[in-house]
A = this chain, B = another copy of it.
Amino acid sequence: MSRGAGPGPALAEELVATAHRLADAAREATLKHFRSDGLSADNKDLRGFDPVTAGDRECEAAMRAILAEIRPDDGILGEEAEAVPSKSGLTWVLDPIDGTRAFLAGTPTWGVLIAVSDDGGPLYGLIDQPHIGERFEGGFGRATVTGPHGTRPLRTRHGRNLSDAILFTTFPEVGTDTDRRGFEAVRDRVRLTRYGLDCYAYALVAAGHVDLVIEAGLQAYDVAAPIAVIEAAGGVVTDWSGGPVHDGGRALAAASPEIHAEALKILGEAGIG
């Protein structure tokens, strides 16, 4: 996505520092509960199993408290509490635990998603994995992962055809039958499909290890930070018709414009794009 000038360098630095402060607080709040003996899930969704844990709620509350103190004019859009309208034109888009099911199962592929957006969409985003201690960030000229083995630039993989691609998704769990048909049409054309990584799959697109992520039924807070990180690393994220997806819906995240175009074409031919 091509964007206007956006915030100047001083404000950009302040927003990045704020995002890291939020992510540090989120690590503390989530790790207190991750793999703890007493962890349980209330059932938010009576029709299915939509777990929300004390980890989710405390994590979002910790981030909101910091924003109320240091960025009181910014809006907040978070998974677990009411939206705060923006007075500054900037809005923080927060998912305290993306992958609550993974969190409940002890799997280290859930993450904390933090993005700061203006009216045009996300400007900067951060995908943090507290248990591993791994932080992927992109925007304002940055595209970096910092983890247990040091810091590396993020750069998506270019030059690979769809037939050699690695595709990730949370299907077969998520999506309508139509969504699934779209996913399967692309799945049948790639080299390798893997399931169930939540936001970590987007981080791996940014890091150059995965070529495509296809998902449906997303909320804005599921996708805002991944968009910023992947685009900063050289990838493309749209909905299944090639339009913007930062408000949620069906996402197609690709390592390169070429592989994005190939996948869009297949979705279009399947009558689903």
Stretch at the interface among A1-9, A67-75, A203-211: A203-211
How far is B152's CA from A35's CA once the two chains are assembled, in angstroms?
11
How far is B204's CA from A105's CA once the two chains are assembled, in angstroms?
8
Contact, CB under 8 Å: A106 / B192: no
A 166-205 to B, binary, CB cutoff 8 A, 1 in contact else 0: 1010001000000000000000000110111100100010
Contact, CB under 8 Å: B105 / A192: yes
Residues of B close to A168: CB separation below 8 A = 105
Q: Which of A35, A166, A172 has the most CB of B within 10 A?
A: A35
Which of these, B49, B132, B197, contacts A192 with CB under 8 Å?
B49
Contact, CB under 8 Å: B149 / A31: yes
Count copies of this chain in the complex.
2
How far is B110's CA from A197's CA once the two chains are assembled, in angstroms?
13
Mark out the residues of chain A between 150 and 170 whose CB falls within 8 Å of any chain B CB in the assembled complex: 166, 168
Which of these, B106, B131, B172, contacts A132 with CB under 8 Å?
B131
The distance from the CB of A172 to the nearest CB of chain B, in whole angstroms, is 7
How far is B207's CA from A116's CA once the two chains are assembled, in angstroms?
36
Residue of B nearest to A204 (CB): B106
Residues of B close to A106: CB separation below 8 A = 204, 207-210
Residues of B close to A210: CB separation below 8 A = 105-106
The distance from the CB of A246 to the nearest CB of chain B, in whole angstroms, is 25
Mark out the residues of chain A between 101 and 119 whose CB falls within 8 Å of any chain B CB in the assembled complex: 101-102, 104-109
Contact, CB under 8 Å: B166 / A104: yes
Residues of B close to A31: CB separation below 8 A = 149
12 A-B contacts, Cβ less than 8 Å apart?
A37-B208, A49-B191, A101-B194, A104-B209, A105-B204, A106-B204, A106-B207, A106-B209, A107-B194, A131-B132, A131-B148, A132-B148
List the interface of chain A (C-beta within 8 A of B).
31, 35, 37, 49, 101-102, 104-109, 131-133, 148-149, 166, 168, 172, 191-192, 194-197, 200, 204, 207-210
